[in-house]
Amino acid sequence: MKWPYTEKSWEEYAQKNKVMFTSCKDCVFFQSPESCSCERLDKFEENKVDIVSIKDDESEYKIVNGRICNMFRTDNWLKALKISDKTSDELGVMARREIKIRCTFIVVCSDDKSCENLSDESELRRKTKEKISQIAKTMKSVDSSKIKPQEIILLNESWIQPYDFINYLRRECESIGVESKWRLEHFNKDVFDTKGEAEESEKTFMKNVFKSIKSGYCAIFHDGEEVDAEYLSKIDEYLNDELQAFLMIKPESGLSGLLLNSILFKQFFGSTSSSFDDFFKQLEEAVEKQKCTHLIQPLGKILSP
Protein backbone atom coordinates (compact mmCIF):
# COMPACT_ATOMS: atom_id res chain seq x y z
CA MET A 1 0.00 0.00 0.00
CA LYS A 2 2.70 2.44 -0.98
CA TRP A 3 0.83 4.88 -3.19
CA PRO A 4 0.42 8.32 -1.66
CA TYR A 5 -2.77 8.98 0.22
CA THR A 6 -3.84 12.47 1.11
CA GLU A 7 -4.36 13.12 4.80
CA LYS A 8 -8.11 13.06 4.24
CA SER A 9 -8.22 9.91 2.13
CA TRP A 10 -6.05 8.09 4.69
CA GLU A 11 -8.34 9.14 7.54
CA GLU A 12 -11.32 7.80 5.63
CA TYR A 13 -9.55 4.55 4.79
CA ALA A 14 -8.35 4.03 8.37
CA GLN A 15 -11.76 4.72 9.86
CA LYS A 16 -13.57 2.47 7.44
CA ASN A 17 -11.15 -0.42 7.90
CA LYS A 18 -10.55 0.19 11.60
CA VAL A 19 -6.79 0.04 11.17
CA MET A 20 -4.31 0.71 13.93
CA PHE A 21 -1.46 2.97 12.84
CA THR A 22 1.12 5.57 13.88
CA SER A 23 1.41 8.83 12.03
CA CYS A 24 4.91 10.29 11.88
CA LYS A 25 3.47 13.72 11.12
CA ASP A 26 3.99 15.43 14.46
CA CYS A 27 6.77 13.21 15.76
CA VAL A 28 9.92 15.03 16.84
CA PHE A 29 12.01 12.28 15.24
CA PHE A 30 10.52 12.69 11.80
CA GLN A 31 13.16 14.50 9.74
CA SER A 32 12.05 14.44 6.13
CA PRO A 33 9.36 12.63 4.11
CA GLU A 34 11.71 9.67 3.93
CA SER A 35 13.56 9.57 7.22
CA CYS A 36 13.23 9.24 10.95
CA SER A 37 16.24 10.13 13.09
CA CYS A 38 15.79 6.91 15.09
CA GLU A 39 15.98 4.92 11.86
CA ARG A 40 12.74 3.26 12.80
CA LEU A 41 11.07 3.71 9.42
CA ASP A 42 13.86 1.69 7.79
CA LYS A 43 13.62 -0.96 10.48
CA PHE A 44 9.85 -1.24 10.11
CA GLU A 45 10.26 -1.60 6.36
CA GLU A 46 12.91 -4.24 6.84
CA ASN A 47 10.34 -6.13 8.94
CA LYS A 48 7.84 -5.86 6.09
CA VAL A 49 5.62 -3.43 7.97
CA ASP A 50 3.50 -1.41 5.58
CA ILE A 51 4.73 2.21 5.39
CA VAL A 52 2.22 4.52 3.74
CA SER A 53 3.10 7.85 2.11
CA ILE A 54 0.83 10.78 2.78
CA LYS A 55 1.14 13.61 0.37
CA ASP A 56 -0.99 16.68 -0.19
CA ASP A 57 -0.56 20.42 -0.62
CA GLU A 58 -0.11 20.89 3.12
CA SER A 59 2.32 18.19 4.05
CA GLU A 60 4.23 15.04 3.23
CA TYR A 61 4.96 12.33 5.78
CA LYS A 62 4.68 8.62 6.57
CA ILE A 63 2.23 6.35 8.30
CA VAL A 64 3.32 3.15 10.00
CA ASN A 65 0.38 0.97 9.12
CA GLY A 66 -0.73 -1.74 11.56
CA ARG A 67 1.84 -0.90 14.24
CA ILE A 68 2.18 1.47 17.17
CA CYS A 69 5.57 3.18 17.24
CA ASN A 70 6.35 3.65 20.92
CA MET A 71 9.08 6.22 20.17
CA PHE A 72 6.46 8.66 18.89
CA ARG A 73 7.02 11.94 20.74
CA THR A 74 5.60 15.39 20.05
CA ASP A 75 6.62 18.94 20.95
CA ASN A 76 4.59 18.55 24.13
CA TRP A 77 7.12 15.99 25.31
CA LEU A 78 9.96 18.45 24.65
CA LYS A 79 8.12 21.19 26.52
CA ALA A 80 7.08 18.99 29.44
CA LEU A 81 10.66 17.81 30.02
CA LYS A 82 12.22 21.15 29.01
CA ILE A 83 14.52 19.43 26.54
CA SER A 84 13.89 21.45 23.36
CA ASP A 85 17.59 22.36 23.20
CA LYS A 86 18.78 18.73 22.98
CA THR A 87 20.10 17.22 19.77
CA SER A 88 18.03 14.54 18.05
CA ASP A 89 20.57 11.93 19.11
CA GLU A 90 20.20 12.95 22.75
CA LEU A 91 16.42 12.93 22.41
CA GLY A 92 16.62 9.49 20.86
CA VAL A 93 18.55 8.18 23.84
CA MET A 94 16.03 9.72 26.26
CA ALA A 95 13.00 8.31 24.46
CA ARG A 96 14.64 4.89 24.16
CA ARG A 97 15.22 4.90 27.91
CA GLU A 98 11.55 5.70 28.46
CA ILE A 99 10.32 2.75 26.42
CA LYS A 100 12.55 0.17 28.10
CA ILE A 101 10.56 -2.97 28.83
CA ARG A 102 8.82 -3.02 32.20
CA CYS A 103 8.45 -6.46 33.60
CA THR A 104 7.22 -8.04 36.82
CA PHE A 105 8.89 -11.32 37.73
CA ILE A 106 6.82 -14.05 39.29
CA VAL A 107 8.84 -16.60 41.22
CA VAL A 108 6.87 -19.76 41.93
CA CYS A 109 8.03 -21.19 45.26
CA SER A 110 7.15 -24.86 45.09
CA ASP A 111 6.12 -27.16 47.90
CA ASP A 112 7.98 -30.13 49.33
CA LYS A 113 5.51 -32.74 50.53
CA SER A 114 8.14 -34.35 52.75
CA CYS A 115 8.00 -31.28 55.00
CA GLU A 116 4.30 -31.66 55.69
CA ASN A 117 4.54 -34.24 58.46
CA LEU A 118 8.06 -33.61 59.56
CA SER A 119 8.12 -33.81 63.34
CA ASP A 120 11.80 -33.01 63.70
CA GLU A 121 11.72 -29.25 64.35
CA SER A 122 15.39 -28.64 63.63
CA GLU A 123 15.20 -30.55 60.33
CA LEU A 124 12.13 -28.53 59.34
CA ARG A 125 13.93 -25.30 60.20
CA ARG A 126 16.95 -26.40 58.15
CA LYS A 127 14.74 -27.20 55.15
CA THR A 128 12.89 -23.90 55.52
CA LYS A 129 16.13 -21.92 55.57
CA GLU A 130 17.43 -23.85 52.59
CA LYS A 131 14.22 -23.07 50.67
CA ILE A 132 14.39 -19.39 51.58
CA SER A 133 17.99 -19.20 50.44
CA GLN A 134 17.02 -20.78 47.09
CA ILE A 135 14.25 -18.24 46.64
CA ALA A 136 16.61 -15.38 47.50
CA LYS A 137 19.17 -16.72 45.01
CA THR A 138 16.61 -16.49 42.21
CA MET A 139 15.61 -13.01 43.38
CA LYS A 140 19.24 -11.91 43.42
CA SER A 141 19.73 -13.06 39.83
CA VAL A 142 16.64 -11.08 38.76
CA ASP A 143 17.84 -8.10 40.76
CA SER A 144 21.30 -8.19 39.15
CA SER A 145 19.94 -8.17 35.59
CA LYS A 146 20.92 -5.43 33.16
CA ILE A 147 17.30 -4.25 33.20
CA LYS A 148 15.83 -4.20 36.67
CA PRO A 149 12.43 -5.75 37.35
CA GLN A 150 9.47 -3.56 38.21
CA GLU A 151 8.67 -5.89 41.05
CA ILE A 152 9.17 -9.51 42.12
CA ILE A 153 6.08 -11.44 43.20
CA LEU A 154 6.67 -14.60 45.18
CA LEU A 155 3.94 -17.14 44.61
CA ASN A 156 4.30 -19.23 47.70
CA GLU A 157 2.93 -22.73 47.32
CA SER A 158 5.34 -24.11 49.89
CA TRP A 159 4.80 -25.29 53.47
CA ILE A 160 6.32 -22.09 54.85
CA GLN A 161 3.68 -19.92 56.42
CA PRO A 162 3.48 -16.23 55.44
CA TYR A 163 4.86 -14.81 58.68
CA ASP A 164 7.98 -17.00 58.65
CA PHE A 165 8.36 -16.63 54.92
CA ILE A 166 8.47 -12.84 55.06
CA ASN A 167 10.71 -12.68 58.10
CA TYR A 168 13.28 -15.19 56.88
CA LEU A 169 13.26 -13.83 53.35
CA ARG A 170 13.61 -10.21 54.43
CA ARG A 171 16.73 -11.11 56.39
CA GLU A 172 18.16 -13.19 53.55
CA CYS A 173 17.51 -10.42 51.00
CA GLU A 174 19.25 -7.90 53.24
CA SER A 175 22.25 -10.13 53.65
CA ILE A 176 22.75 -10.78 49.93
CA GLY A 177 21.70 -7.28 48.84
CA VAL A 178 18.44 -7.76 46.91
CA GLU A 179 17.21 -4.25 46.24
CA SER A 180 14.15 -4.80 44.04
CA LYS A 181 10.66 -4.33 45.39
CA TRP A 182 9.03 -7.66 46.26
CA ARG A 183 5.84 -9.02 47.76
CA LEU A 184 4.43 -12.33 48.80
CA GLU A 185 1.29 -14.05 47.52
CA HIS A 186 0.58 -17.14 49.53
CA PHE A 187 -1.42 -20.01 48.11
CA ASN A 188 -1.96 -23.24 49.95
CA LYS A 189 -3.78 -25.91 47.90
CA ASP A 190 -4.06 -28.21 50.89
CA VAL A 191 -6.74 -26.19 52.67
CA PHE A 192 -9.32 -27.22 50.06
CA ASP A 193 -11.49 -30.32 50.41
CA THR A 194 -11.44 -31.41 46.80
CA LYS A 195 -9.01 -31.21 43.90
CA GLY A 196 -11.68 -29.36 41.89
CA GLU A 197 -12.08 -26.79 44.65
CA ALA A 198 -8.33 -26.26 44.83
CA GLU A 199 -8.05 -25.89 41.05
CA GLU A 200 -10.90 -23.41 40.93
CA SER A 201 -9.33 -21.41 43.73
CA GLU A 202 -5.93 -21.49 42.12
CA LYS A 203 -7.49 -20.06 38.98
CA THR A 204 -9.10 -17.20 40.93
CA PHE A 205 -5.88 -16.70 42.86
CA MET A 206 -3.76 -16.46 39.70
CA LYS A 207 -6.31 -14.16 38.13
CA ASN A 208 -6.11 -11.82 41.12
CA VAL A 209 -2.32 -11.91 41.16
CA PHE A 210 -2.18 -11.00 37.50
CA LYS A 211 -4.81 -8.30 37.97
CA SER A 212 -2.49 -6.59 40.43
CA ILE A 213 0.41 -6.41 37.96
CA LYS A 214 0.97 -2.88 36.71
CA SER A 215 3.86 -3.47 34.28
CA GLY A 216 3.33 -4.26 30.60
CA TYR A 217 4.96 -7.68 30.84
CA CYS A 218 5.38 -10.45 33.34
CA ALA A 219 7.87 -13.31 33.42
CA ILE A 220 7.68 -16.57 35.32
CA PHE A 221 10.51 -18.52 36.98
CA HIS A 222 10.82 -21.10 39.75
CA ASP A 223 12.71 -20.75 42.99
CA GLY A 224 16.27 -22.05 42.84
CA GLU A 225 16.75 -20.98 39.22
CA GLU A 226 19.25 -18.33 38.16
CA VAL A 227 17.85 -15.90 35.65
CA ASP A 228 20.24 -15.01 32.81
CA ALA A 229 21.52 -11.44 33.39
CA GLU A 230 20.61 -10.65 29.77
CA TYR A 231 17.18 -12.30 29.78
CA LEU A 232 15.23 -9.06 29.90
CA SER A 233 17.67 -6.87 27.95
CA LYS A 234 17.65 -9.30 25.01
CA ILE A 235 13.85 -9.31 24.99
CA ASP A 236 13.92 -5.51 25.21
CA GLU A 237 16.23 -5.32 22.16
CA TYR A 238 14.02 -7.72 20.27
CA LEU A 239 10.99 -5.58 21.00
CA ASN A 240 12.36 -2.05 20.86
CA ASP A 241 15.38 -2.24 18.52
CA GLU A 242 14.46 -5.10 16.23
CA LEU A 243 10.84 -3.88 16.40
CA GLN A 244 9.45 -7.39 16.52
CA ALA A 245 5.94 -7.57 17.94
CA PHE A 246 4.96 -10.42 20.25
CA LEU A 247 2.40 -11.36 22.86
CA MET A 248 4.19 -14.27 24.40
CA ILE A 249 7.74 -15.61 24.55
CA LYS A 250 7.60 -19.26 25.32
CA PRO A 251 10.26 -21.64 26.61
CA GLU A 252 10.62 -24.98 24.88
CA SER A 253 9.03 -26.75 27.82
CA GLY A 254 7.66 -25.83 31.23
CA LEU A 255 7.01 -22.33 32.48
CA SER A 256 10.45 -21.05 33.42
CA GLY A 257 11.33 -18.08 31.26
CA LEU A 258 7.80 -17.57 29.98
CA LEU A 259 7.18 -13.88 29.25
CA LEU A 260 3.72 -12.55 28.62
CA ASN A 261 1.98 -9.38 27.75
CA SER A 262 0.19 -8.67 31.05
CA ILE A 263 -3.02 -7.34 29.51
CA LEU A 264 -3.40 -10.38 27.34
CA PHE A 265 -2.88 -12.65 30.28
CA LYS A 266 -5.33 -10.74 32.47
CA GLN A 267 -7.96 -11.08 29.76
CA PHE A 268 -7.41 -14.72 28.85
CA PHE A 269 -6.34 -16.43 32.02
CA GLY A 270 -9.02 -17.07 34.56
CA SER A 271 -11.84 -15.88 32.35
CA THR A 272 -11.81 -18.76 29.92
CA SER A 273 -8.68 -20.74 30.71
CA SER A 274 -8.36 -22.89 33.78
CA SER A 275 -4.68 -23.75 33.48
CA PHE A 276 -1.56 -22.64 31.68
CA ASP A 277 -1.98 -25.46 29.18
CA ASP A 278 -5.49 -24.24 28.44
CA PHE A 279 -4.23 -20.71 28.09
CA PHE A 280 -1.46 -21.74 25.67
CA LYS A 281 -3.89 -23.78 23.61
CA GLN A 282 -6.37 -20.92 23.35
CA LEU A 283 -3.74 -18.39 22.45
CA GLU A 284 -2.15 -20.68 19.87
CA GLU A 285 -5.53 -21.29 18.26
CA ALA A 286 -6.28 -17.55 18.23
CA VAL A 287 -2.99 -16.57 16.53
CA GLU A 288 -3.34 -19.42 14.06
CA LYS A 289 -6.86 -18.30 13.17
CA GLN A 290 -5.80 -14.68 12.75
CA LYS A 291 -2.68 -15.64 10.81
CA CYS A 292 -0.30 -13.96 13.23
CA THR A 293 1.66 -16.89 14.63
CA HIS A 294 4.74 -14.62 14.90
CA LEU A 295 3.11 -13.16 18.03
CA ILE A 296 4.30 -16.26 19.90
CA GLN A 297 8.08 -16.50 19.82
CA PRO A 298 10.36 -19.22 21.19
CA LEU A 299 12.56 -18.07 24.05
CA GLY A 300 15.60 -19.95 22.69
CA LYS A 301 15.59 -17.87 19.52
CA ILE A 302 15.70 -14.59 21.44
CA LEU A 303 18.30 -15.63 24.00
CA SER A 304 20.65 -17.27 21.50
CA PRO A 305 23.86 -15.24 21.04
CB of 71 to ligand SF4, least distance (A): 4
Exposed/middle/buried for residue 165 (C-beta within 10 Å: 0-12, 13-18, 19+): buried
Q: Which of 52, 54, 64, 218 binds ligand SF4 (CB under 6 A)?
A: 64
The rounded distance, in Å, linking the Cα atoms of 218 and 248 is 10
Strand bridging mode 151-156 / 30-32 = unpaired
CB of 158 to ligand SF4, least distance (A): 46
Residues facing residue 155 across a β-bridge: 108, 185
Identity of the residue, 40 or 127, whose beta carbon is nearer to ligand SF4 in the bound complex: 40
Q: Which of 10, 54, 65, 72 binds ligand SF4 (CB under 6 A)?
A: 72
Identity of the residue, 69 or 218, whose beta carbon is nearer to ligand SF4 in the bound complex: 69
CB of 4 to ligand SF4, least distance (A): 17
Are 146 and 117 in contact by the 8 Å Cβ rule? The answer is no
CB of 28 to ligand SF4, least distance (A): 7
CB of 292 to ligand SF4, least distance (A): 21
Where in 151-210 is the site for ligand SF4 (CB under 6 A)? none
Identity of the residue, 77 or 276, whose beta carbon is nearer to ligand SF4 in the bound complex: 77
| Residues in CB range of 98: below 8 A, 6 or more apart | none
Identity of the residue, 40 or 102, whose beta carbon is nearer to ligand SF4 in the bound complex: 40
CB of 36 to ligand SF4, least distance (A): 3
CB of 68 to ligand SF4, least distance (A): 9
Q: How many CB atoms lie within 10 A of CB 101?
A: 19
Angle of helix 162-176 relative to helix 121-143, nearest 10 degrees, comes to: 50
63 part of the interface to ligand SF4, by CB under 6 A? no
Count of residues that bind ligand SF4 according to CB under 6 A: 13
Where in 3-62 is the site for ligand SF4 (CB under 6 A)? 22, 24, 27, 29-30, 36, 38, 40-41
CB of 58 to ligand SF4, least distance (A): 18
The rounded distance, in Å, linking the Cα atoms of 49 and 116 is 55
Identity of the residue, 32 or 161, whose beta carbon is nearer to ligand SF4 in the bound complex: 32
The rounded distance, in Å, linking the Cα atoms of 221 and 243 is 25
> If we measure between CA atoms, which residue out of 249, 254, 185, 241 comes closest to residue 218?
249
| Residues in CB range of 230: below 8 A, 6 or more apart | 145, 146, 303
Identity of the residue, 43 or 186, whose beta carbon is nearer to ligand SF4 in the bound complex: 43
Exposed/middle/buried for residue 128 (C-beta within 10 Å: 0-12, 13-18, 19+): buried
Interface positions with ligand SF4 (CB under 6 A): 22, 24, 27, 29-30, 36, 38, 40-41, 64, 69, 71-72
